[in-house]
Each structure stands twice: as structure tokens, then as C-alpha cells.
Chain A
Amino acid sequence: MGDAAILVEDLGKTFGEIVALDGVDLAVPEGTVLGLLGPNGAGKTTAVRILTTILRPDRGRAAVLGHDVATDPDGVRNVIGLAGQFAAVDGNLTGRENLRLVGRLTHQRKAVVGPRADELLERFGLSDAADRTVRTYSGGMRRRLDLAAALVHKPPVLFLDEPTTGLDPRGRNDLWAVIGELVADGMTLLLTTQYLEEAERLADRIMVIDGGTVIAEGTAEELKHRLGNTIIEVRLADAGASQAARARLEAVGAAEVLDDGRTVALTVGDAGRAVLEVVRTLDSAGLTPEWLTVREPTLDDVFLQLTGHKAAPGAGEGEAPPTGRGRRGRRGAP
């Protein structure tokens, strides 16, 4: 693991009777992005807190650029930046003052702190608001300032704990663009998120975590291929028609009626042949679909299959990608 910027072995942490982390291993190569994906309470934030020296692990080992969190916490602190879901900036200070404060507290020379703060304000589109107190900022502006504060000392490794949770779609897109630039610059990034789209968009590799353990790991593509199949969805006029269709379509692939009662989802291997069979089957049964779609499985499907429960509430509803029409009711695919 010579190239691992972040290395975690058998990490465990318990709070009273609650097991937050139960033997997590991970390695993030330098210059890559790992997305830690999981629902609330999965253990993502605990992992970040341990890696940023805020919490001590009960067992296991965690190191950043070779600095062990237990034996050399200041060494870790010097090479990391942390931006969190709580937007930890001081509302009583201006944006500029917040960045200078962090600059001084990270022991940067005075002469570099001012220009560095200005540079970050400019880069994150906060120059106009630089001298306003942060309490007047919008949620998106606060998050950008929080991220800027994590970068004042130019850390080579960055931790983002649910960076866009609670942001509106525009704020989320703005922040994604900013994070994308950091990634393009070669920063090593560990990102936690409840949003499947966020992990897919920003991360090189994704680790799905639930109940304090890693339940899957891979690229977004690899995770999707775990389902190994294409999904065909057919919507019919009513519940009766959909049941009739499902019964007949079982011959083509694993078929299931979704929560809306009218859509039949079919998991198939050979998409082209299957579409023809579906059309033929429906036609011969006298069933005319309202529409028919063919799609690749999304991370939502993967998550559902792996964990047996849905991804974060809200992750696919309204704010996230327009790919999610009502398929969330489907239970584990074959």
C-alpha cells in the first residue's frame, strides 16, 4: 500500500451499546477520490472523525500520508482539511476573517494568510461577500466558505463529510463544480454522502457502508454491474393489466410490479432480444403499455439490493437525478 494517502485497517468504534464502526478497512490512493456511501447512522461520519483526529478509535489503525492518527495526530492535522455538514464557520466573523483565523491557527506565516484568504474567496465566488458577516450568507455560500476554510493551509488530503446535505439543487451544483476542480487538481479526497448521484459524480471508487461495515466496494460502473442486468419498465393502464402483464412477462425475466401498481419492472440479460419478447408478449395478450423504457441499473438499485432498504430519504426525490421514477419500491433484484 505504498501509494495509499489514507489507510484504514480493521477500524472499530463503539458508543455505549451502539456499534458505529465494526472492522472497516479502506485505502485511498493518492490523487483519487473515495466516496463513502451510506444512510444516516451507517458510520460514515465516525470514520471521518477518527481520520481527522477528532475521535479515537477503539480498535484498528488509521493513517493519513503515513501519519498515524493515534501516535502522530499533529502530523495528520498538518496534511488534512475537513469540511463538514455543519458548515463550521463563525457567523459573527466576515468570510475573510474566518479564512484568516484558520490561516493563523494552521500556523501559516502572517504574510501568506491574507493573500491566501483573498485567493480562496475569489476562487469560490465569495469576493463580493468577503467583508459581510457570515450570518448573512446563504446556505450554499456558507458551505463554500467552509470548504475554503478547509483549504487555507493547502492540505494534500481533504475530508468532506456530507458536503451538500441540505443544500438546494443550485447550491449543490455549485459545490460539485468547486469540488470537481479540486479533484482535477489532484487532491486526495474522502467524501461521505447519502446521495448516490453525488458519489457517482465525484468519486473514483465508491464504498457502500451500512451498520458500521463495508458491504460493497468498486467503481460506480462495477457496482452497477453487480446487478449485471438491464431493467425494462413497462407501465400499463391499471393494476389488473399490470398483474396480467407480470404473469406473462415472467417467461422473459424476473418481473415485479412496482409500488405504483401499474408499472412492471423486468430484469433481463440480453436487452435487445428481451425488448422484442416483451413487445411480442404484450401484443399477443392484448395489453398496450402507456410507455416502455430500457435502462441501466442505477446506484439506487444497487443500494437497495445490497442493504435491503432504501437509500437516504430524499436522495432520489426531487433533488437528485431525473432517473428515479417510482422504481424505489422494487425489492431486491435477482
Chain B
Amino acid sequence: MTSTAPAEVTSTLEHRSKLGWAVQDALTVAQRNLVALFRVPTTLVFSTVQPVIFVLMFRYVFGGSITVPGFRYVDYLMAGIFVQTVTFGSINTGIGLAEDLSKGLIERFRSLAMARSAVLAGRTLADAVRNVIVIVLMVSVGFLVGFRVHTNVASFLGAVLLMVLFGFAMSWVMALIGLSTGNAEAAQAAAFPMMAVLVFASNAFVSTRRMPGPLRAYAEHQPVTAAVDGVRALLNGGPLAGKVLGSAAWSLAIVAVFAPLAVRRYRRAA
């Protein structure tokens, strides 16, 4: 109604569709996060320290006392370790967003005419890339302690895909938590118990069969168990379709629920 922006403002603008910008903005933010990740690789290192300790502990300390019918324990274990790694790794998504929020970066991003989904999508995408790296490292560690893939390369890649997808889904849960808590320590404190209940009350390390009734019922019907089942089947062979579909369905359902919630939270974050 009053004046328009000077000509130079509009002339330097690039034009794309709304969806096109949503994708481009997410990639721009993802790139920013990856640059930071490689420049400050400590988070990458710490993402692997804990799972390596778990590998050593379960392989050598507890492993001797655990038998799972139909599996060498190290092969059974590693599927659980991979899923555990991406699950706990998703806490980084929440921490990163909480830090962006507390440092005022989100405020700046929200004052720009960029896609409202981009900061979150960029963060979860970057964390998916980080997960690929961490998984490669953990597979190498697995090989060192005797883990072997009993299927083929395609199945192995499918297993990696399932892990990354599950990590991506959990990242959206953590995005919501990170934005809601607004500081890194609180995000971590809020997330850890939830992640622990998901990871330890599952079939990641031991079979659910000997768990007491109610616990077993929970353990057999929760997303980490589904993810581990899919990964384990792809790495060790046996009936596949149902387990892989179940795992993917859980992940997609989590994204479908938590991505809109997280974006809504982002729009209101202050």
C-alpha cells in the first residue's frame, strides 16, 4: 500500500516454487550443519565412543553368558548396537537445535523469508549423513570383534538404509524435544530416559522371550524392536518382508507424527 522495496532488492532475488525453496533451504541448512560437524568433529567422536563401549561390554563381558537360539551372539548383538547408535545419536539433533535456539540463530532464521520447515529438515538431514558415517565406523568395529554379514551386499545396504531411516525418524522426535526445552543440557536430560526405555527394553541386546509378561508385551511392540528386527533379518537372513516393512512403517509413522509437531513448535519457538 505504501512504497515498494527498491528495485535492487527484487532484482537479486532468485525465483522458485514454494516446494522448490523448501528443499533448497533445507539443503542449505544441512550444508551449514555438516560444515560445522566436520570442523568440530568431537560430536562425531563422542557419537561412537559410547556404542564402542557397549560393543566391548556385551561382546566380552556379558556375551559369554547370553545365548540366543539361531544366532552367533556377536551377529545378534551388532544389529542391536547399530540401532542403539542411531537412536542415542538422535539426541544430537535436539542438542543442536536447542543450541541454535539459545544462541539466537533460530530467531534470525525465523526473521528470514525462508521455508519454515528448513531449519528442522536441514538439521535432521545433516544428522542422517552423520549417522551414515557413524554406522560405517560401527560396522568396522563390528568386523574387528567378529561380526559378519550373512546375506549379501544389497541386503547389507538395505540394513544401513533402515538404520538411517530410523535415526532420521528419531531425529524428528528429538527436534521437538530440543525446541521445547530450549537448552542443550535440558534436551539431553529429557531425552535420555526416553531413549533408554526404548533401547534397553527391546530386543537389541537380548531376546524378549524371558522378559516378564507386561514388559515383554511392551518390548515386542515398540519401534526399536521393530527396527532391530528389520536390520537383523537383513544382516543374518531368514524371513524378511514383514520385518523390513514393519521397521520402515514405524519410522515413517514417527516422521508423519513428529515432523508436523516439530515444525509447529518451530513457528512458535522464542
Contact = CB atoms under 8 A, between A and B. Distances in A.
Interface stretch (B2-10, B136-144, B174-182, B249-257): B2-10
B109 A105 contact: yes
Pick the most buried of A5, A106, A133: most chain B CB atoms within 10 A of its CB.
Answer: A106
B104 A87 contact: yes
B14 A110 contact: yes
A106 B107 contact: no
A108 B14 contact: yes
Interface string A64-96: 011000000010011110101011111111000
Interface stretch (B67-75, B110-118, B155-163): B110-118
B113 A82 contact: no
Interface stretch (A149-157, A219-227, A271-279, A311-319): A149-157
A133 B113 contact: no
B13 A30 contact: no
B36 A78 contact: no
B210 interface: no
Contacts of A101: 28, 32
Interface size class of A (residues with CB under 8 A): 35 or more
Contacts of A104: 24, 28
A107 interface: yes
Contacts of A53: 110-111
Interface in A120-159: 133, 149, 153-156
B9 A92 contact: no
A88 B103 CA distance: 6
Contacts of A106: 112-114
B1 interface: yes
Contacts of B40: 92
A130 to B, nearest CB: 15
B13 A93 contact: no
A107 B114 contact: yes
A77 B111 contact: yes
Given A49-B270, A86-B104, A105-B114, A93 B35 contact: yes
A3 interface: yes
A92 B35 contact: yes
A54 interface: yes
B200 interface: no
A91 B103 CA distance: 10
Interface size class of B (residues with CB under 8 A): 35 or more
A206 interface: no
Pick the most buried of A30, A86, A107: most chain B CB atoms within 10 A of its CB.
Answer: A107
Contacts of B21: 107
Interface in B1-60: 1-6, 8-9, 12-14, 16, 21, 24-25, 28-29, 32, 35-36, 39-40
Contact of B5 (A91, A133, A149, A156): A156
Contacts of B108: 82, 84, 88, 102, 149
A78 B5 CA distance: 9
A16 interface: no
Contacts of A333: none
B110 A105 contact: no
B42 to A, nearest CB: 11
B105 interface: yes
A285 interface: no
Contacts of B36: 90, 92-93
B270 A54 contact: yes
A55 interface: yes
A78 B9 contact: yes
Contacts of A109: 12-14
Given A66-B1, A108-B12, A156-B6, 5 more contacts: A30-B2, A88-B107, A89-B105, A101-B28, A108-B13
The 3 tightest CB contacts between A and B, nearest first, are: A86-B104, A92-B36, A88-B104
22 contacts: A3-B3, A30-B3, A53-B111, A65-B2, A79-B5, A84-B107, A86-B104, A90-B105, A93-B32, A97-B35, A102-B108, A104-B24, A105-B112, A106-B112, A107-B113, A107-B114, A108-B12, A109-B13, A154-B6, A154-B8, A154-B9, A156-B9
Interface of B: 1-6, 8-9, 12-14, 16, 21, 24-25, 28-29, 32, 35-36, 39-40, 103-105, 107-114, 118, 270
